[in-house]
Amino acid sequence: MKLKFWIIAIIIVILDQITKILLQNKHFGIINYATNTGAAFSLFSNSTTILTIISFFMIGAIIYFYKKHSNAAIPLALLLGGTIGNFIDRVNFGYVRDFIDLKFWPIFNIADSANVMGAIILIYLIWKDKL
């Protein structure tokens, strides 16, 4: 189970970073490269430093939570991979690179998708008392 947790997280980080590199400054179809100095939905714009610090602590919290609740390996791995993916951007660039533009929703990336999926699954497990 431990190996699955780390493999999923690493795959998310790699997919996130590769897609951000390949789609940088691209604009076609639903691909519309943009940068975001805030959090989800561009909340807290220009708060890179505090969001970087929060991300750092979230990475630690996710790993700690996984050690206590290994039965939640998949959602926690998705959250870890997504958090690390955007953390890398904030540290290296001072912003997060987004590129998936559905036109009716704020632009997002693979890391954001992993975070949302991980959170939804985690909420479901908590709701169903499986955690």
Q: What is the pLDDT along the chain (131 residues), one digit of tens a residue?
A: 588 999 999 999 999 999 999 999 999 999 999 999 988 767 788 888 999 999 999 999 999 999 999 999 999 999 999 999 999 999 999 999 999 999 999 999 999 999 999 999 999 999 988 76
Q: Considering 16, 98, 101, 129, which one is annotated as catalytic?
A: 98
101 among known catalytic residues:
no
* Alpha helices, H only, 1-131: 2-22, 48-68, 73-93, 110-127
Q: Please tell me whether the overall predicted TM-score, pTM, comes out greater than 0.85 for this model.
A: yes
Decide if 20 contacts 109 (C-beta within 8 A): yes
Dmax (CA) of the chain? 44
129 among known catalytic residues:
no
Q: Considering 16, 89, 101, 112, which one is annotated as catalytic?
A: 112
Decide if 86 contacts 56 (C-beta within 8 A): no
Phi-psi region of 21 (alpha: psi -120 to 50; beta: other; left: phi over 0): alpha
